[in-house]
Amino acid sequence: MVEIKNSINDIIISSAKFLAPFTKAQEEYNTFIRIKTKLSKSLDKKTIHPKKASLIRKYIIDNIILNSIWAISGVKNYKDFLEDVKKKKTGTITITTKKSKEKAVIEIKDNGCGIKKQDLNKIFKKDYSTKKTSGLGLFMADKVIKKLKGDIRVESEPKKFTKMTITI
């Protein structure tokens, strides 16, 4: 089990370590994913209550990174994923942190399949998914961000990238 420490940067590192085996497992299916981090040292000093840190990691960061992994692999479900292994895919997930006034800003950007413009207003709705999944990941992320009095913005261009900017 990966230990969760108490700064935003610790949370990002913890999540990246936790999900690293999943990105590594994708190589077996000809998908190569790299997680890069650009972490602001100014956020190392600001500690977060352990329960809040756990919520941020499990419900926000992990869910968004998992969505990025699926976007890079470019498939809708596991069956499609197995059938698509002959196509080599590479991708990068870049996680950047910075401080803005008294808040932390986390940007998670991937070079996956992107989100269609008509779907952008649906992605945080309960049960909405373009894949055969529960549709709860981004719904839960949005709920926790709002509970923490934060904000999430999404920028995307189909077939190019998606960037989620979380301010908490």
Domain ranges of the chain: 8-167
pLDDT digit string, tens, across residues 37-86: 999 999 887 788 888 999 999 999 999 998 898 888 765 555 555 555 55
pLDDT digit string, tens, across residues 111-127: 998 999 999 999 999 98
Homologous superfamily of 8-167 in CATH? Histidine kinase-like ATPase, C-terminal domain (3.30.565.10)
CA 45 to chain centre: 23
| Cα 137 to Cα 62: distance, rounded to the nearest angstrom | 9
Contact 4/14 with Cβ under 8 angstroms?
Answer: yes
Instruction: Give percent of the chain with pLDDT exceeding 90.
Output: 52
pLDDT value, residue 6:
83
pLDDT digit string, tens, across residues 123-151: 999 988 777 677 788 999 999 999 999 99
Phi, psi torsion values for 72, nearest 5 degrees = -70, -40
